[in-house]
Amino acid sequence: MTSDVEIRSVVRGNLERVRDRIAAACDTAGRDVEGVRLIGVSKYVGPYPTAQLAVAGCRDLGESRPQQLWEKAETLALDGCEVRWRMIGHLQRNKVARTVPIIDSIDSVDSRRLLKAIDQAAHQAGKRQTVLLEGNCSGDAEKHGFSPAEVDAELAERDTWPHVASDGLMTMAAREGGPDVARQNFHDLRELRDKLRDTNGTKLDELSMGMSGDFEAAIAEGSTLVRIGSALWEGIARE
């Protein structure tokens, strides 16, 4: 069984290698590395390795399952770890009320009904909830998200969700097609963001694109948030 000391060492080494890859991708793309933020995805591991990632300096954490997010947020808070949690997976409306008070951002808003539920929960929690709207740029029917036209329509109606602040857009690359298709999906989301800035007058500063297998291509296309899971947990037992 891997000891706590070994876990800490492996996590730190993985984090350093991922940061080096991000820096190299930014250098290749001619971008400032400060313009790309690493979101450490914790869905693969338990609270202890997650806490060690935070201790090592990765304070932005993403979780795709609400129940695990609640449990880890409580455990890390009791341990004194200050982190910014982001919900990156599909969020059911019946889990919104418990999620909103502890979350920094919900990066996977994929329907009008979910937006309304978040707005209501944020109002009850006395906060303005930051979100990213999930765009389905790949056209993959198995993926959640708004079509480009639906994103435009939702932003045009943003006054109807006053307790929600849309910071930007998120997408996932198509499962099939390889790196060229993934890069095209990322390119399409950036173009959509730029168009929406012109038509809706919204900043949409954040683009959440890219995971362990394709984040270099996402950085080349303008990603500001990369969601890295498996590359951070190599050598760590998964749950």
Quote the CA–CA distance of 152 and 73 in Å, as a whole number. 33
Per-residue pLDDT at 60: 98
Per-residue pLDDT at 1: 43
Q: Which neighbouring-strand residues pair with 87?
A: 63, 106
Domain for residue 237, yes or no? no
Domain for residue 74, yes or no? yes
Domain for residue 238, yes or no? no
The domain that contains 180 carries what CATH number?
3.20.20.10
DSSP code at position 35 = G
Per-residue pLDDT at 138: 63
Q: pTM for the full model? A: 0.94
Domain for residue 34, yes or no? yes
pLDDT per residue as tens, the chain (239 positions): 468 899 999 999 999 999 999 999 999 999 999 999 999 999 989 999 999 999 999 999 999 999 999 999 999 998 888 899 999 999 999 999 999 999 999 999 999 999 999 999 999 999 999 999 999 876 666 677 898 889 999 999 999 999 999 999 999 988 777 888 999 999 999 999 999 988 877 889 999 999 999 999 999 999 999 999 999 999 998 87
- Number of structural domains found in the chain: 1
Domain that holds residue 58: 4-232
Quote the CA–CA distance of 108 and 41 in Å, as a whole number. 14
DSSP 126-179: TS-EEEEEEB--S--TTS--B-HHHHHHHHHTGGG-TTEEEEEEE----SSSHH
Quote the CA–CA distance of 6 and 133 in Å, as a whole number. 38
Helix or strand (DSSP H, E) at 40:
strand 37-41
Q: What's phi and psi for 175, nearest 5 deg? A: -65, -35
Per-residue pLDDT at 142: 63
